[in-house]
Amino acid sequence: MEAQPATVTKWAIDPTHSEIQFKVKHLVISTVTGSFSQYEGEVESVGNDFADAKVSFSADISSISTGQEQRDGHLKSADFFDAEQFPKLSFVSTSMTKTGDDVYSLVGDLTMHGVTKSVTLKVEHGGQMVDFYGQTKAGFEAAGTIKRKEFGLTWDGVTEAGGVVVSDDVKLVLNIQLTKQA
């Protein structure tokens, strides 16, 4: 008996029900949260099993928002993301491994500011549900930490007292709802 080929299921990020955020320490005493409002991504899984899923994602740097216009302008400038020269950040998975009940380790190449580095995110699958319109949705929360200086975001400010203005560690927090594609 011949084995049937695996059915690939395509999923797309539902931007209406998703959030792409980053958190960074400011003056080492408080945390600033920012987000991207323009992004897209897709996931390919075998059926409804997300082990070994292929994940790709990109965000428009110009859509960055921290709730403070002057800071957002600084982040888009050549001091940080340099949105004019590097308008997008992207992520392409290299592996997604199930590590527990509804928990995965997602490894992939993050490209930002013209630099590509491998990053690992812990992913929690919140489950699946059919919405009011008959669409199958899947929910995920992904989190990890990167070092901004490894991606060429090296601007540093120092206070009069010698304190660092912006931490090197940046926490990534993604709450993603996927829509199963027909």
Domains, the chain = 8-180 (2.40.128.110)
CA distances to 65, 78, 89, 155, 176 from 82, rounded to whole Å, are 15, 4, 11, 11, 26
Residue 177, amino acid? Q
pTM higher than 0.75 = yes
pLDDT one-digit tens code per residue, 131-161: 999 999 999 999 999 888 888 777 665 545 5
Kindly state the greatest CA–CA separation across the chain: 75
CA distances to 9, 36, 71, 150 from 33, rounded to whole Å, are 33, 11, 12, 20
Asked if the model's pLDDT at residue 24 lies above 50, the reply is yes
Going by C-alpha positions, the residue among 171, 174, 139, 146 that lies closest to residue 20 is: 174
What is the spatial distance between Cα 41 and Cα 59, in angstroms, rounded to a whole number?
9
pLDDT one-digit tens code per residue, 107-139: 999 999 999 999 999 999 999 999 999 999 999
